[in-house]
A and B are shown apart, each in its own frame.
Chain A
Amino acid sequence: MYGLAFPKCPLPIPNSRRKVIQMPMEPMIGLEVHAQLNTESKMFCSCSTKFGAEPNSNVCPTCLGLPGSLPVPNRRAVEYVIRTGAALNCQTAARCRFARKNYFYPDLAKNFQISQYDEPLTHDGYIDLDVDGEQVRIRIRRAHLEEDTGKNIHLATGSSLVEYNRSGIPLMEIVTEPDFTTAEQCREYLTQLRLILRCIGVSNANMEEGAMRAEPTVNLVDRETGEATPKVEIKNLNSIRAVYQAVSYEIERQRRAVAEGREDELFQQTRRWDEDKGVTVLMRRKETSDDYMYFPEPDLVPLEPEPEWVEEIYASCPELPAERRERFCTEYDLPRYDAEVLTESRQLADYFEETCKRFEGSAKMVSNWLMGDVMSLLNEAGITIDQSPISCEMLAELLRLIKEDVISGKIAKDVLATMFETGRSAAEIVEEEGLEQISDTGALESVIDEVIEENPGPVEDVRAGKDKAIGFLVGQVMRKTQGQANPQMVNEMLREKLT
């Protein structure tokens, strides 16, 4: 009567049920990911989803589960799941239902969670991964919609408080088939999934902030006989790295238990990742599956997204990070590293492409400037590319000035900083501050003569064939011209005069 999803007491497995499992076995890993959708309002009421508000201030009768309150679905959240389905090659159901997942817990305002059970909004998709040069396809079983719970806060005094601001925030649950065979694949999947969710703008997918949570299920299987070790679920993973480590650890733990015949360690269970010790720890044994008494949510009518709307969402699905990365390599002839960095955020990739369109020069030059100086200015200011005071037109202009030898690369760095600070254009700054490169032979000649006269030692060295000394003389000319001399020309003119 009082909730059935409680931890069951561990029961010893009778010896007769033990079986000897043969090696070798291959890991079989499935991943369940919860991503918080970044809608303005909650899943079933109009309360704000804003983070960091006063405790229990973003609440109403519905998300507090007060008597008589009713849920009304957030259309934007539905759209986000369909969009995710589109990005993960899923099918979107023409008709699906919400279901109640019943269990008792103080952070669950109604003591049931509105989720989806046998009729998810989107299902049967896949994602292709490139793991160390190997192509792996992971099947997506489903992506569905549900509401988040509140949060229990346990005080040192022994009493507990409950915070419901999070209660009712829309969550998307993405479940894969158990297609992963290595921890590396899991890591790559989560990395790609995060990029995708950010790219399509449905979630910030930050695991450290709790906006994305992952729960792997790990066991070993003999692919030939189908014989498998019992499934182990791992919880408490707060980063992609933690998932990688926990899965690696768990595979090894199970392998060792099999190899050493310690079958009493192999049973269906939930384990917790201990970040500090770097081990998984038994949380509870699962003798039977939890009974959540799912049934269709009677307060909501079946969800039937209009076909035109779904089509529109699918059609507007943007190019995904992995495809874009490949295209950057081929179309712009970028090194793989550059393509990876640039496609990490959709805004950055867009910025790169927009700049290339406006700049008649090498894409690699755009990439270098973007990944180097522009990024470090942004990082220093703590802003993202879409908040940058330097538009892609402005960057393209700066690059043109470099390419046309109007300014040197070194001067350009200062110009960029001024642009960032003032929002003025490169041409304006160069003009006003007289930063144009001196490429006039007449103007350079007198400075070069001066330097030759003032540095008889190095001049002698050059004449004696010590090529290194010419660098020193060029440097002197640059100094006298405050860096505005065209170093290439200075070099040539010096050689002409001294040989």
Chain B
Amino acid sequence: MKLYELTAYELSERLTSGEVSAAEVTEAYFERIESVEEKVAAYLELTQDVAMEQARQVDDWRAGGEQPGPLAGVPVAIKDVLCTRGIRTTCGSKMLKGFRPPYDATTVRRCRDAGMPMLGKTNMDEFAMGSSTENSAYKVTRNPWDLDRVPGGSSGGSAAAVAAGMAPIALGSDTGGSIRQPAALCGISGLKPTYGRVSRYGLVAYASSLDQVGPLARDVRDCALAMNVLAGRDQYDATSADVDVPDYVAALTGDVEGLRAGVPKELMGEGIDPAVRTTIEAAIGQFEELGMAIEEVEMPNLDHSLPVYYVIAPAEAASNLARYDGVRYGHRTEEDVSDVYDLFAKTRGEGFGPEVRLRIMLGTFALSAGYYDAYYLKAQKVRTLIKQDFDAAFEDHDVLLCPTSPTVAFGIGEKADDPLQMKLAHVCTIPVNLAGIPALSIPCGMVDAMPVGLQIMGRPFEEATIMRVGDAYQRATDYHRQRPEL
């Protein structure tokens, strides 16, 4: 086994025992990146000098007898939506070309403090808006399983990097499925934590009430390791929750006997590719074999998830993205301008891509006087109904199961001209963000020689339960061990 083929957990064991050094691990990753990045195009920026310095620091700690955390020396890739001090953070947008934040996101700082060398910044849909990573202003990332297909999005760079062995763990952000859907399409594991579980400080906002940072990794155990670093209250994020953080790795007991799982009818029916559905049904059968009780549940309000999301998310985005005006940082038009409003208009017209402009217009419309009640307020009310559907379902069920994505990865350019089809790619993941609950995607089979993802949803702050379920599945199967050939 090559070093880049190991899981973070296996790397951690070898680093702790002294079998390999952090510098060797980091070097191995950069070698791997050098050989396959050209094909996959997962990274926007590589930070080899920073990573090597961090790795050597970790080796010094260990040489000095210190016992840093289990992930010390395990490299990490960072989605370009997270602020990295002094390192370009573009959000895949021309608007932030060359922008170097003066501070680290809390999640980035936590990774640094844990001794995780930063490999680089990964590609994404512009401002995290999209489900194929084709909306990046810089490059198109390819699915390592089939280079003509998309890796999913918006955290497509992070997912492709992990799938291609270019990072053991990557951070992503998930507003409507942007961690889980690319994880599913790239055949890896990805967790969207409960809203408030992980700090959003330094996460460039798309939709503040939905955004959450989480890990993408080869398996659930690695996600749990990462969550031990990421989770917890942050004084710089007023929406971060003051809820105890369990040891997520210790929670992976392999025992799921007697747990009750629900399968929402609304997320298994129309719109789900039949072959994907068959694969999911087989996975559900596996859970029954592991001793879980399975039954279908009805959650009628889930049918409204997409329209609700496409009111709330663009509304918050229109406001969050207002700050990009060319006055303080980022892109500024070089055209002649008549006044400051002309400067704003030209700068924003040039700096934002079409999907971002579309969502800003949608959101502005939804918030405008005379439309607010009919759109934004109504969407918030339906959002409450969706939450209530989840509350009811979780009264009798410990977890809910469904496909992560209705289809396997589609071809590059295939849906580029069909915005609705593109948005349907997140149809199974969006309800989770609206409800603020945690959900995990794990690989559970192949269709068309492409990975299929299973989504496991849980009660608020019960990441440990859904990861225990996912880990039990991975103990019994080896879909998560399959690797694309590059």
Binding site for B on A (CB under 8 A): 1-4, 6, 61, 64-73, 100, 102, 104, 106, 109-112, 160, 162, 289, 291, 293-295, 298-301
Per the bound structure, the CA–CA distance linking A1 and B344 in Å amounts to 11
The interface residues of chain B lying within 8 Å CB-to-CB of A300 are 238-239
Of A73, A109, A294, which one neighbours B323 at CB under 8 angstroms? Answer: A109
The interface residues of chain A lying within 8 Å CB-to-CB of B372 are 293, 295
Rounded to whole Å, the gap between the CB of A67 and the closest CB of chain B is: 4
The interface residues of chain A lying within 8 Å CB-to-CB of B105 are 68
The interface residues of chain B lying within 8 Å CB-to-CB of A69 are 201-202
Q: State whether A64 touches B83 (Cβ < 8 A).
A: no
Q: Which residue, A3, A112, A289, A299, has most C-beta atoms of chain B within 10 A? A: A299
Q: State whether B204 touches A68 (Cβ < 8 A).
A: yes
Rounded to whole Å, the gap between the CB of B435 and the closest CB of chain A is: 15
The interface residues of chain B lying within 8 Å CB-to-CB of A301 are 238-239
Q: State whether B101 touches A66 (Cβ < 8 A).
A: yes
> From B237, which residue of chain A is reached at the shortest CB distance?
A70
* 1/0 contact string of B91-133 vs chain A (CB within 8 Å): 1000010010111010000000000000000000000000000
* 1/0 contact string of B74-92 vs chain A (CB within 8 Å): 0000000011000001010
Among B154-162, B290-298, B314-322, B463-471, the stretch that binds chain A is: B314-322
Q: State whether B344 touches A70 (Cβ < 8 A).
A: no
Is B329 located at the chain interface by the 8 A CB criterion? yes
Q: State whether A102 touches B340 (Cβ < 8 A).
A: no
Per the bound structure, the CA–CA distance linking A67 and B105 in Å amounts to 10
Per the bound structure, the CA–CA distance linking A105 and B238 in Å amounts to 26
> From A4, which residue of chain B is reached at the shortest CB distance?
B368
Q: State whether B323 touches A110 (Cβ < 8 A).
A: yes
Question: Can you report 14 residue pairs joining A to B where beta carbons are below 8 Å apart?
Answer: A66-B328, A66-B329, A67-B83, A68-B89, A68-B201, A68-B203, A70-B200, A72-B237, A106-B325, A110-B323, A291-B368, A293-B318, A295-B367, A299-B205
The interface residues of chain A lying within 8 Å CB-to-CB of B367 are 102, 293-295
Rounded to whole Å, the gap between the CB of B483 and the closest CB of chain A is: 34
Question: Quick one: given A109-B328, A301-B239, are A1 and B83 in contact (CB under 8 Å)?
Answer: no
> From A291, which residue of chain B is reached at the shortest CB distance?
B369
> From B203, which residue of chain A is reached at the shortest CB distance?
A68
Per the bound structure, the CA–CA distance linking A110 and B327 in Å amounts to 11
Rounded to whole Å, the gap between the CB of B79 and the closest CB of chain A is: 12
Per the bound structure, the CA–CA distance linking A70 and B107 in Å amounts to 14
Main secondary structure of the interface of B (DSSP, over half): loop
Q: State whether A2 touches B340 (Cβ < 8 A).
A: no
Known contacts A61-B101, A66-B103, A293-B319, then 6 further A-B pairs from the complex at CB < 8 Å, ordered by chain A residue: A1-B360, A68-B83, A68-B89, A68-B202, A73-B238, A109-B328
Question: Quick one: given A3-B341, A64-B328, A109-B323, are A71 and B238 in contact (CB under 8 Å)?
Answer: yes
Per the bound structure, the CA–CA distance linking A99 and B119 in Å amounts to 39
The interface residues of chain A lying within 8 Å CB-to-CB of B361 are 1
Is B392 located at the chain interface by the 8 A CB criterion? no
The interface residues of chain A lying within 8 Å CB-to-CB of B236 are 70, 72
Q: State whether A298 touches B316 (Cβ < 8 A).
A: yes
Rounded to whole Å, the gap between the CB of B208 and the closest CB of chain A is: 4
Per the bound structure, the CA–CA distance linking A111 and B348 in Å amounts to 13
Q: State whether A298 touches B208 (Cβ < 8 A).
A: yes
Q: State whether A68 touches B82 (Cβ < 8 A).
A: yes
Is B376 located at the chain interface by the 8 A CB criterion? yes
Q: State whether A102 touches B101 (Cβ < 8 A).
A: no
Is B235 located at the chain interface by the 8 A CB criterion? yes
The interface residues of chain A lying within 8 Å CB-to-CB of B205 are 67-68, 299
Rounded to whole Å, the gap between the CB of B318 and the closest CB of chain A is: 8
Q: State whether A2 touches B348 (Cβ < 8 A).
A: yes
Rounded to whole Å, the gap between the CB of A162 and the closest CB of chain B is: 7
Per the bound structure, the CA–CA distance linking A434 and B368 in Å amounts to 82
Per the bound structure, the CA–CA distance linking A301 and B209 in Å amounts to 10
Question: Quick one: given A2-B348, A106-B340, A301-B238, are A111 and B89 in contact (CB under 8 Å)?
Answer: no
Q: State whether B344 touches A3 (Cβ < 8 A).
A: yes
Rounded to whole Å, the gap between the CB of A52 and the closest CB of chain B is: 23
Per the bound structure, the CA–CA distance linking A289 and B239 in Å amounts to 32
Question: Quick one: given A6-B341, A109-B328, are A299 and B83 in contact (CB under 8 Å)?
Answer: no
The interface residues of chain A lying within 8 Å CB-to-CB of B376 are 295
The interface residues of chain B lying within 8 Å CB-to-CB of A66 are 83, 101-103, 328-329
Per the bound structure, the CA–CA distance linking A160 and B326 in Å amounts to 13
Q: State whether A102 touches B322 (Cβ < 8 A).
A: yes
Rounded to whole Å, the gap between the CB of B410 and the closest CB of chain A is: 30
Is B407 located at the chain interface by the 8 A CB criterion? no
Is B243 located at the chain interface by the 8 A CB criterion? no
Per the bound structure, the CA–CA distance linking A299 and B316 in Å amounts to 10
Question: Quick one: given A68-B101, A299-B208, are A111 and B91 in contact (CB under 8 Å)?
Answer: no
Is B345 located at the chain interface by the 8 A CB criterion? yes
Rounded to whole Å, the gap between the CB of A101 and the closest CB of chain B is: 10
Rounded to whole Å, the gap between the CB of B203 and the closest CB of chain A is: 6
Question: Quick one: given A64-B328, A110-B322, are A293 and B341 in contact (CB under 8 Å)?
Answer: no
> From A6, which residue of chain B is reached at the shortest CB distance?
B341
Question: Quick one: given A1-B360, A2-B345, are A67 and B322 in contact (CB under 8 Å)?
Answer: no
Q: State whether A111 touches B345 (Cβ < 8 A).
A: no
Per the bound structure, the CA–CA distance linking A70 and B213 in Å amounts to 15
Rounded to whole Å, the gap between the CB of A8 and the closest CB of chain B is: 13
Rounded to whole Å, the gap between the CB of A160 and the closest CB of chain B is: 8
> From A152, which residue of chain B is reached at the shortest CB distance?
B340
Rounded to whole Å, the gap between the CB of A444 and the closest CB of chain B is: 77
Q: Among residues 167 to 214 in chain B, which have CB atoms less than 8 Å away from a CB atom of chain A?
A: 200-205, 207-209
Q: Which residue, A102, A110, A162, A298, has most C-beta atoms of chain B within 10 A? A: A298
Q: State whether B235 touches A72 (Cβ < 8 A).
A: yes
The interface residues of chain A lying within 8 Å CB-to-CB of B329 are 66
Is B364 located at the chain interface by the 8 A CB criterion? yes
> From B367, which residue of chain A is reached at the shortest CB distance?
A293
The interface residues of chain B lying within 8 Å CB-to-CB of A4 are 364, 368
The interface residues of chain A lying within 8 Å CB-to-CB of B325 are 104, 106, 111
Q: State whether B238 touches A67 (Cβ < 8 A).
A: no
The interface residues of chain A lying within 8 Å CB-to-CB of B319 are 100, 102, 112, 293, 295
Q: Among residues 301 to 339 in chain B, which have CB atoms less than 8 Å away from a CB atom of chain A?
A: 315-316, 318-319, 322-323, 325, 327-329
The interface residues of chain B lying within 8 Å CB-to-CB of A104 are 322, 325, 341, 344
The interface residues of chain A lying within 8 Å CB-to-CB of B207 are 298
The interface residues of chain B lying within 8 Å CB-to-CB of A61 are 101-103
Per the bound structure, the CA–CA distance linking A245 and B367 in Å amounts to 39
Per the bound structure, the CA–CA distance linking A65 and B322 in Å amounts to 10
Q: State whether B327 touches A162 (Cβ < 8 A).
A: yes
The interface residues of chain A lying within 8 Å CB-to-CB of B369 are 289, 291, 293
Per the bound structure, the CA–CA distance linking A1 and B96 in Å amounts to 20
Of A65, A70, A162, A291, which one neighbours B238 at CB under 8 angstroms? Answer: A70
Rounded to whole Å, the gap between the CB of A57 and the closest CB of chain B is: 14
Question: Quick one: given A100-B319, A298-B209, are A106 and B327 in contact (CB under 8 Å)?
Answer: yes
The interface residues of chain A lying within 8 Å CB-to-CB of B83 are 66-68
The interface residues of chain A lying within 8 Å CB-to-CB of B315 are 295
Give the top 7 A-B pairs by smallest Cβ distance, nearest first: A111-B322, A298-B208, A293-B367, A298-B209, A68-B202, A67-B204, A291-B369
> From B103, which residue of chain A is reached at the shortest CB distance?
A61
Rounded to whole Å, the gap between the CB of B327 and the closest CB of chain A is: 5
Q: Which residue, A69, A104, A295, has most C-beta atoms of chain B within 10 A? A: A295
